[in-house]
Amino acid sequence: MNFALTDDQRMIRDAAEAFLAEASSSAAVRAAMGSAHGFDAALWQRIAGEMGWCGTHIAEAHGGLGLGLVELALLQEQTGRRLACVPFFSSVCLAATALQQAGSAAAQAQWLPRLADGSLRASVALAARGVQWDADAVGAIARRTAEGWQLDGRFEHAPDGASAQLLFVVARVDGTAEIGLFAVAADATGVTRTPLQTWDETRCLATLELRGVRLQALDRVDDGEHTRDALQRTNALAALLLAAEQLGGAQQCLDMTLDYAAQRTQFGQPIAAFQAVKHRCAEMMLRIEATRSAVYGAAALAAGAPATNELLMEAGAAKAQASDAFFFCAQEAIQLHGGVGFTWEYDPHLYFKRAQAGSHWLGSATHWRERIARALLD
């Protein structure tokens, strides 16, 4: 595939890079970590209102910008580069994508406009454990009632689950093989949200418990016919967007390392002059550029609405490549910073933790490689 960014796409990327360099600086990220909101509320308001990013891939008919996966991936790359402490991934990349893929026309008309303007923060509870769709690991059961539905279940890891205003919950219908997607108000009776202390303090996770949660009939938002396939596509697209975020983090690890190596001196010269340091930085750059090609290429393919199997293969390959590259670059950044690399005052440890935590979200590199291998062998 021959792929190059258009002038508009480069403008989107450059504007996002400049904005977040100022608005999500190291100091701002550290201030947001552990805040009362669990995220940088001021930055979220600027992203939603001033920048309009929340509606990037949402259709104009629902108040969005009507752009595509490439543009959203470019924004995700920059949020990952700056570790932006906002619910952009959970609300835009995950919730809005799930609604677009699996939601009925009525549900999309109800919720997408509010997701597009950022006035609604949402998240998706995909599986009982972890952040990955698996038909055999659904964490809730939905039972039909005279008024509509009753939900019971538990989800161990919901992204931004403690701060989201709306939860899209995947549940097994009446204990059968049928899968449904339900919209649950975060403050509904029977919903308990417990924030988790996690390895990556720049992103919040929460445990959700649903006990006798009563819903109206219209709170089931999927069409009931293609939900399994739609959730597979949702998982693939979210994995691709997470890969874009990891690409941005890997790039920042290299940039931080080059800056530090140019300033740190030993034996009367910057350590950037040492051949061993050059080789390690060159390896980081090589892995980043390979990841960039995989992510951008998969995003371009996804924008064309490919078949589910093809989408899963391309998104999975990008996610596997990005997870490995980010971990490698974060690890090298710490090593090349020397003893200060894992101290609080320097940033490499924040990226290392993000790389560790995100590598298992929406499928680990091993999971995706095994899945791709099975598909090719079959």
CA 228, 231, 237, 241 torsion-angle sign = negative
CATH no. for residue 58?
Answer: 1.10.540.10
pLDDT, average across residues 219-235 = 92
CATH no. for residue 129?
Answer: 2.40.110.10
**Please, which residues bridge with residue 269 across strands?**
266
Instruction: Please indicate, yes or no, whether residues 20 and 137 belong to a single structural domain of this protein.
Output: no
Instruction: Please indicate, yes or no, whether residues 164 and 276 belong to a single structural domain of this protein.
Output: no
Instruction: Please indicate, yes or no, whether residues 168 and 140 belong to a single structural domain of this protein.
Output: yes
Last residue of some domain: 65, 87, 121? 121
Instruction: Please indicate, yes or no, whether residues 73 and 212 belong to a single structural domain of this protein.
Output: no
Instruction: Please indicate, yes or no, whether residues 101 and 155 belong to a single structural domain of this protein.
Output: no
List, for residues 300-335, the tens digit of each pLDDT value.
999 988 999 999 999 999 999 999 999 999 999 999
pLDDT at 2: 67
Mean residue pLDDT of the chain comes to 94
3-state helix/strand/coil string of the chain: CCCCCCHHHHHHHHHHHHHHHHHCCHHHHHHHCCCCCCCCHHHHHHHHHHHCHHHCCCCHHHCCCCCCHHHHHHHHHHHHHCCCCCCHHHHHHHHHHHHHHHECHHHHHHHHHHHHCCCCCEEEECCCCCCCCCHHHCCEEEEECCCEEEEEEEEEEEECCCCCCEEEEEEEECCCCCEEEEEEECCCCCEEEEECCCCCCCCCEEEEEEEEEEEEHHHECECCCCHHHHHHHHHHHHHHHHHHHHHHHHHHHHHHHHHHHHHCEECCEEHHHCHHHHHHHHHHHHHHHHHHHHHHHHHHHHCCCCCHHHHHHHHHHHHHHHHHHHHHHHHHHHHHHHHHHHCCCCCHHHHHHHHHHHCCCCCCHHHHHHHHHHHHHC
pLDDT at 260: 94
pLDDT at 344: 86
The share of the chain scoring above pLDDT 70, in percent, equals 99
Residue 42 reports pLDDT greater than 70: yes
Last residue of some domain: 90, 121, 152? 121
Q: What pLDDT band is residue 341 in, cutting at 50, 70 and 90? A: confident
List, for residues 10-30, the tens digit of each pLDDT value.
999 999 999 999 999 999 999
CA atoms of 144 and 182, how far apart (whole Å): 12
Residue 134 reports pLDDT greater than 70: yes
| Total domain count, the chain | 3
Instruction: Please indicate, yes or no, whether residues 139 and 22 belong to a single structural domain of this protein.
Output: no
Which residue bears the tokens 């449904």?
A: 180
In a domain, 241, yes or no: yes
Residue 1 reports pLDDT greater than 70: no
Left (φ > 0), alpha (ψ -120 to 50) or beta: where does 142 sit? beta
In a domain, 1, yes or no: no
List, for residues 260-296, the tens digit of each pLDDT value.
999 988 888 998 889 999 999 999 999 999 999 999 9
Instruction: Please indicate, yes or no, whether residues 259 and 337 belong to a single structural domain of this protein.
Output: yes
Instruction: Please indicate, yes or no, whether residues 306 and 186 belong to a single structural domain of this protein.
Output: no
Q: Look up the domain containing 350 and give its range.
A: 227-377
Instruction: Please indicate, yes or no, whether residues 165 and 42 belong to a single structural domain of this protein.
Output: no
pLDDT at 342: 84
Q: What pLDDT band is residue 199 in, cutting at 50, 70 and 90? A: confident
pTM for the full predicted model: 0.96
Q: What pLDDT band is residue 37 in, cutting at 50, 70 and 90? A: confident
List, for residues 149-166, the tens digit of each pLDDT value.
999 999 999 999 999 999
Question: Residue 54 corresponds to which amino acid?
Answer: C
pLDDT, average across residues 109-117 = 97
pLDDT at 197: 86
